[in-house]
Chains A and B, each alone.
Chain A
């Protein structure tokens, strides 16, 4: 029978979720960084 542990970050796809959270956070930062371009004329 296949074993499954909640503490394994690979089996739980935890790494993908962490990456997604990082992406959303970094995307907000990127958009804010790019928005600043308008005020630098």
Chain B
């Protein structure tokens, strides 16, 4: 019979391990830290004011404009940017496109953190944030509400993404048996995650179907859910290209030469997918435009603004992606990714803020405090992403982790 370690010493060892992992690694004084830390601290103070004195103390939100920057950017745009996780997991786990496996964990982590932070920011915007639990516990089951679907989907998708990422956590802790069980659950979680994603990406668009009189006709369409879903595909692919490029530079010491070389091939493959998704999205936009006979609206300033989004930040990146993929020009592909993400940002902000109440006498502009809180959410996500990548097998292979060679790994039974 194998000798089982005593519970108390194992718990102490586990506690010491966690404390040691909380210590910062690398230099503390870096340009990113110097910029992000004050913003995070200022955002925390503003949030304390928001939760003690109410939304009116820090935002320009009113009864007429109840959803502002926190919903328009954090939730609606952030969730579109996180679409890469469901696209890539579908490619790797369902279609067996093994070429993309080296970046799948970083993409899942990015998606998981985006949902935790950006969808979590939903709580900031609720007048009564303690009611956020109602759709889950059944105080107010709103079966006919799109928000009911979105809230359940966010919760379930975060759980699915955590299960997809959990083998990396088990490897970090040295829990080999748990890792085997979690790894076996991955495919189920992936299929559940893809199903949920396709539904709530379009669901976010469906939230705005009831606002037909408020949204400028160039941006309102009964096809908003489909447009949101299709655009989330290339938004996710573009985010993978951009985030992967930055990660490969910042965490270059964790990636061996072979993976560095294969990343260029991965970027070209992602660019091909993004070009096709962008082209399909552009077709849908053109179809809606013709269907609604909107050409008479192109004359004024709103028309120029619309063309900037649809031609400048949709069609142009589509052409750049196709050219970059065909001629293997990585610089062109990265430029296309930035432009495509700017196009998504502009589209989501147009639907939620800029072209929303476009003819109202008093327009909504976010306060500086709303902007600071938004930046805080972005920076906090990057901090957590960096913490996880420097400790777990996200970019590097699992056998390079310190716990991989432990004779006595940290046991889940003892830790529980």
Contacts and interface: CB of A to CB of B under 8 A. Distances in A.
Nearest to A34: B272
Contact of B272 (A26, A37, A41): A37
Contacts of B268: 37
Interface in B258-291: 268, 272, 275-276, 279-280, 283, 286-287, 290-291
B322 interface: yes
A6 interface: no
A22 B211 CA distance: 32
B273 to A, nearest CB: 9
B316 to A, nearest CB: 15
Contacts, number: 40
Interface in B309-348: 322, 325-328
A37 B275 CA distance: 13
A1 interface: no
Nearest to B283: A23
A10 B293 contact: yes
Interface residues of B, number: 17
B276 A30 contact: yes
Contacts of B327: 37, 40
A34 B290 contact: no
Nearest to A36: B326
Nearest to A31: B276
A16 B276 contact: no
B328 A16 contact: no
A7 interface: no
Interface of A: 10, 13, 15-16, 19-20, 23, 26-27, 30-31, 33-34, 36-37, 40-41
Given A30-B322, A31-B276, A34-B275, 13 more contacts: A10-B293, A13-B291, A15-B290, A19-B283, A20-B287, A30-B279, A33-B322, A34-B326, A36-B326, A37-B272, A37-B328, A40-B326, A40-B327
